Amino acid sequence: MLFKPTHLATTFLSLLPAVNARLRTCVPRDLPTIEVFGLQVVDIAAKEHRGYEDWRPSPMTGISVPKRPIDFCNFTITYTHPGQGDRVNVYVWLPLEDWNGRFLGQGGGGWTAGWEMSLAPSVAVGYAVAITDAGHELSSSLADMNKTRSWMLTSPGNINWVLLQNFASRALDDLPKVAQQVVKGFYGEPAKYSYWSGCSTGGRQGLMSAQRYPKNYDGIVATAPAIHWATFVVAELWAHIVMRKVGYYPPNCELEAIRQAAIKACDELDGVKDGVVAAAGLCTFDAKSIVGQTFDCGGEVRKISTKAAEVTNAIWEGPIRNGRQAWYGLPHEAPLTGLALTECDAGNENCKGKPFIASVSWIRDVVMSGQDIDLSALDEDEYWNILHRSVREFASIISTDDPDLSEFKSAGGKMITWHGLADQLIPVNGSSDYYEKVLALDPDARSFYRYFEAPGVTHCAGGPGAAPNAVLDTLVKWVEHGIAPETLDAATVPVDEAEAARHRPLCLYPLVAAYVGGDLAEAGSFECAESFDVVKRHTEL
């Protein structure tokens, strides 16, 4: 029988737009009850923003978007795990118009589980986006990581295991489960696709999600991931152990002079002179080869010292004991002041070490349970004991180095990792090492997981190299349209208006972008090859 709408049915249908409009009001009571096994919501707050302009594009998002005013609703969901005594906040920003139908979880950096600065750019391109604070205060900078002690310890000598577990993994599982219910309640329909994007800690969080919670996301961008946390964060202290051993803390100007000499020596190993060490694996520059050469240090002419060369070589080599390498060193091009920073008196005299704060807080507050130890006084034996203890007690909690991604693959997930070859904080070889282990376990892993390296790019962004700026778009094409990326489009960031951007393809690991002729600023002048020897072949032709 043909259905004919009655007056009552017609009236009901005419109300649907109004219902939808009500669902998009920024009022907590309009959300359904949020139910996630193992947690209890204790508060929901909401605030509507119109014409919001207090934001700027961020390279941490994997999104390229110009700044503009945005309209969104900010829901803050506060919950606890009953009996655990924690209080976790999930921040969900929802576009009031032009939602693209997707949900995006975003990561943090250092001890911060989520960067608030990453939310607005995502809203600007239509994503419903969320972050978690994992149960402790969000930090706005690495310097704020000194606050770690205030939440990491329940008392001196006693780790707050609940908050450590939240930061390491549990809050990452809660985030999409809470946020997705907010999205559905607000828009009246669930997100069609779910994505994750993060760098550094955010990259580690992405890998944690793929390894332990493989059904939470359809696609993951895990940039410069802090994969082997329990190992490499202690390895970040290595430069200062070496400085103490040789009895010399080089001023930053001396370390920079040695780095620039290495870049000059290795720049053209890829057949291109562009101030970037693209052939990082071929660079064997020895700092001792320039001992005695002069350099400028704040207007004063000095000479490269033997001890500075010894320290630098050790940083490039990484922690080694009895012929066994515990972790990788920094690439020759990476700024040495990231992990080998020193502070000096006026005139660059009487220098002392200033270790990276993430390394200090991990060793002091976690591995040593809050003991007030003087890390600058550690000898080598003490250092190796701390490294062993860190791995033994905490790797299974936070290190995300499990190469078995079979469940993520079976769930249909796709993942992209890229890492700068000039990363000054997280050695890039940690990422290639992990990827090779994934491939060894599953030779078909490229069907769902692809890794790329970016010559000349420092941690997450920056440096003279070309960095990708629309990786999330690339991932969306792979997930939703089956277009797997063979390359990532990348470009340099000009330092002034007179300089033009240089474009490069970032090739699927282990392929490299070899120059084949033409304008060095154009991506078409490069092709992906097994080695840079392709330059010679094209020259001969």
* Length of the chain as a residue count: 541
The pLDDT, as a whole number, for residue 72 is 97
Whole-number pLDDT of residue 48: 96
Given a cut of 50, is residue 13 above it in pLDDT? no
Mean pLDDT across the chain: 91
> What does the longest C-alpha to C-alpha distance in the chain come to?
97
What is the rounded distance in angstroms from the CA atom of residue 30 to the CA atom of residue 99?
18
**In the structure encoding, which two tokens stand for residue 347, read together?**
């005139």
Q: 3-class secondary structure for 254-298?
A: HHHHHHHHHHHHHHHHHCCCCCCCCCHHHCCCCHHHHCCCEEEEC
pLDDT at residue number 535: 52
Cα first-last separation, the chain: 76
- pLDDT tops 70 at residue 139: no
Tell whether the model's pLDDT for residue 83 goes beyond 70: yes
Average the pLDDT over 141-151 and give the result: 60
Among the ranges given (130-139, 146-155, 392-401, 515-524), the one the predictor scored with the smallest mean pLDDT:
146-155
pTM, full prediction: 0.92
Q: Sort 483 into a burial class: Cβ within 10 Å, 0-12 / 13-18 / 19+.
A: exposed
Q: How far apart are CA 392 and CA 238, in angstroms?
A: 19
Q: Quick one: how many helices (H) and strands (E) in the chain?
A: 16, 22
Q: How confident is the model at residue 60 (pLDDT cuts 50, 70, 90)?
A: low
List all residues 6 or more positions away from 141 whose beta carbon is below 8 Å from its beta carbon: none
Dist CA 51 CA 441 (whole Å): 50
What average pLDDT does this structure show over 12-25?
A: 40
* Per-residue pLDDT band at 17 (split at 50, 70, 90): very low
pLDDT at 434: 98
The residue-averaged pLDDT of 56-60 equals 74
pLDDT band for position 11 (50/70/90)?
A: very low
The residues carrying an active-site annotation are 200, 423, 459
| Lowest-confidence region among 18-32, 342-356, 420-434 | 18-32
pLDDT of residue 15: 31
Q: At residue 2, does pLDDT exceed 80?
A: no
pLDDT of residue 16: 33
pLDDT greater than 90 at residue 539 = no
Give residue-wise pLDDT tens across range 166-191.
999 999 999 999 999 999 999 999 99
Query: Closest by alpha carbon to 106, among 98, 96, 116?
Result: 116
Structure tokens at 247: 């009895």
pLDDT digits (tens, 9 = 90+) for 259-300: 999 999 999 999 999 999 999 999 999 999 999 999 999 899
| Non-local CB neighbours of 289 within 8 Å, separated by 6+ positions | none
The proportion of the chain whose per-residue pLDDT surpasses 70, expressed as a percent, equals 91
Instruction: Express each pLDDT in 186-226 by its tens digit.
Output: 999 999 999 999 999 999 999 999 999 999 999 999 999 99
The share of the chain scoring above pLDDT 90, in percent, equals 82
Is the predicted pLDDT of residue 465 greater than 70, yes or no?
yes
Phi and psi at 273, nearest 5°, equal -100, 105
pLDDT tens-digit readout, 86-126:
999 999 999 999 999 999 999 999 999 998 888 999 999 99
Give the 3-state DSSP-derived string for 45-71, with helices as H, strands as E and coil as C: EEEEEEEECCCCCCHHHCCCCCCCCEE
Q: For residue 9, is pLDDT > 60?
A: no
Tokens standing for 185? Answer: 């309640």
Please write down the HEC assignment for all residues of 420-453: ECCCCCCCCHHHHHHHHHHHHHCCCHHHCEEEEE
